[in-house]
């Protein structure tokens, strides 16, 4: 017996991935096209070559100083309107987008940077849900094709101190939510437990 498996989308490893099995694989394209919601942890004051914590730090910049937490919150909140609604975003070099049949990340690993055309995306909602300066956590609801790493970098650029992504969790894909998900460990345990009934 064979079962078709479809992983739906390439994504930063820690974010979470819907996996379609058997008959459900016919819905994988719908999930690819669906809006997504993420919780993203951003670290300000450093830029990395990949835009996330897996990369090498390529620049350290002085952090802005705020007299009080209220001023910090106001400064962070003031960034968000420019990143709400239709937005133009340049895809990162460390991505699976292809040029001449080769993923961009292969060029990036070889030290080659290619010009990339901006892509139109939509950020439906964006808000800060926690701030532990110099890190801050966002909740973002967005269209397909949105690079959260690029969003983190763009927020750092707008604040004048650089930033990169240090954590990412996808909490919704279309109508599916994180609460409806299972860990690999829980699936393995369920399979082991059910084998005793066979």
Q: Residue 130's domain is classified under what CATH number?
A: 3.30.2350.10
125 domain residue, yes or no: yes
In a domain, 117, yes or no: yes
DSSP tag of 162: -
pLDDT at 174: 87
**Single pTM value for the model:** 0.84
Q: Is the residue at 3 inside a domain?
A: no
What domain count does the chain have? 1
DSSP secondary-structure letter at 160? Answer: T
HSE value, Cβ hemisphere, 13 Å, CA-based, for 60 = 3
Amino acid 16: pLDDT: 67
- Sign of the Cα torsion 160, 165, 169, 175 reads positive
Q: At what angle do helices 148-159 and 69-79 cross, to 10 degrees?
A: 120
Query: Domain for residue 98, yes or no?
Result: yes
The per-residue pLDDT for 113 is 93
pLDDT means per 10 residues in the chain (198 residues)?
45 62 80 91 97 96 94 97 97 93 94 95 98 97 96 98 96 86 80 66
Structural domain span for residue 82: 35-195
Q: With respect to residue 91, please indicate whether it lies within any of the assigned structural domains.
A: yes
The pLDDT of residue 196 = 59
What proportions of the chain, in percent to the nearest 5, are helix, strand and coil? 30, 35, 35
Does 11 fall in a domain?
no
């Amino acid at each position: 017996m064979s079962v078709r498996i479809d992983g739906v989308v390439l994504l930063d490893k820690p974010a979470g991935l819907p996996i379609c099995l058997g008959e459900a694989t016919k819905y994988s394209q719908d999930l690819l096209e669906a809006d997504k919601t993420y919780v993203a942890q951003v670290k300000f004051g450093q830029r990395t070559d990949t835009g996330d914590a897996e990369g090498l730090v390529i620049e350290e910049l002085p952090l802005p100083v705020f007299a009080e937490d209220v001023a910090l919150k106001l400064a962070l909140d003031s960034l968000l309107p420019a990143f709400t609604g239709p937005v133009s975003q340049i895809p990162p070099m460390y991505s699976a987008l292809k040029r001449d049949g080769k993923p961009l990340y292969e060029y990036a690993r070889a030290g080659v940077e290619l010009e990339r055309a901006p892509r139109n995306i939509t950020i439906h909602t964006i808000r800060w849900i926690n701030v532990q300066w110099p890190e801050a956590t966002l909740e973002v609801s967005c269209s397909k094709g949105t690079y959260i790493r690029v969003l983190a970098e763009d927020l750092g650029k707008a604040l004048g101190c650089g930033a990169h992504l240090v954590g990412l969790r996808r909490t919704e894909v279309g109508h599916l939510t994180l609460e409806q998900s299972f860990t690999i460990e829980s699936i393995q345990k369920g399979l082991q437990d059910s084998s005793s009934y066979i």
